[in-house]
Copies of this chain bind each other. A is one copy, B any other.
Amino acid sequence: MTAPARKTKSAGSRSDFVYAGLRRAIIEQALMPGDKLTEDVIGDRFGVSRTIVRAALARLHAEGLVDLQPNKGATIAQPSLSEAYDIFEARMCLERQVLARLAEKVTDRDIQRLEQHVAQEMKAGSQDGPAAIRLAGEFHILLAQLAGNGVLARYVDEVVSRCSLILALYGRPHSSDCSINEHQQIIDALRERNSRLAIDAMDHHLRAVTDRALLSSNTDKQRDIRSILDHYAS
């Protein structure tokens, strides 16, 4: 018994499967920053050889989701505070552009999809599951995709994913990282094709997310240190 492998060999080959699985685990914070990613272990779980796992890890490394130290293996990335600020700054810059585009070209169909997504968020948000974290990020990714610029969309996807790591490291344990109201405000601004308003809403939203994530970093760090000390003092 080595794996819950799947038969559908599908496209992109098996490394995509491993990549997607790991990625989701990271984004839903099932794997936490600093966790070790041993190639053999992952290979067993997914039913593939290390060759495949290695490709997946390399890809995750390129996206900044895993650290990769020579001869020492892979771990879930632990962005420093300074990296965290860099990521948020880049994210702000990219998402502004997304909204500027969207305000000009958004269709009723797009608005509908966004509303549907927020509805999903509300449903998942109530039961606090890992899905809520993922859906909050996917709202932003959906926006980027609807904007119709593939390059922008890929970068947004990347920074949003990395924000999961930041939240996991510095955020409060159960802070709903994206208040759904703020997502709704963005949709409302888009419905009126009001680019200025939409960008303001996004700015406000991202600043709020940043604050929720990083302002608590001091207290949380202390809590962490304390709990670590507790552990060693027992």
Contact = CB atoms under 8 A, between A and B. Distances in A.
Quick one: copies of this chain in the complex? 2
Interface string A85-129: 011011001101100000000000000000000000000000000
Nearest to A149: B86
A35 to B, nearest CB: 22
Q: How large is the interface on A (under 10, 10 to 19, 20 to 34, 35 or more residues)?
A: 20 to 34
Contacts of A51: 51
A55 interface: yes
24 contacts: A11-B70, A13-B70, A54-B55, A55-B55, A55-B58, A58-B58, A58-B59, A59-B62, A62-B62, A64-B151, A86-B149, A86-B151, A87-B151, A89-B97, A89-B149, A89-B151, A89-B152, A90-B152, A90-B155, A93-B94, A93-B96, A93-B152, A94-B94, A151-B159
* Secondary structure type dominating chain A contacts: helix
Interface in A50-90: 51, 54-55, 58-59, 62-64, 70, 83, 86-87, 89-90
Contacts of A159: 151
A150 interface: yes
Q: Return the 10 tightest CB-CB contacts between A and B, nearest first.
A: A93-B97, A90-B151, A86-B149, A86-B151, A62-B62, A90-B152, A87-B151, A86-B150, A155-B155, A89-B149
Contacts of A4: none
Nearest to A71: B13
A173 interface: no
Contacts of A151: 64, 83, 86-87, 89-90, 159
A94 to B, nearest CB: 7
Contacts of A70: 11-13
A140 B86 CA distance: 18
A11 B68 CA distance: 12
A55, A63, A90 pick with most chain B CB within 10 angstroms: A90
Interface string A1-45: 000000000011100000000000000000000000000000000
Nearest to A98: B93
A82 to B, nearest CB: 9
A58 B58 CA distance: 8
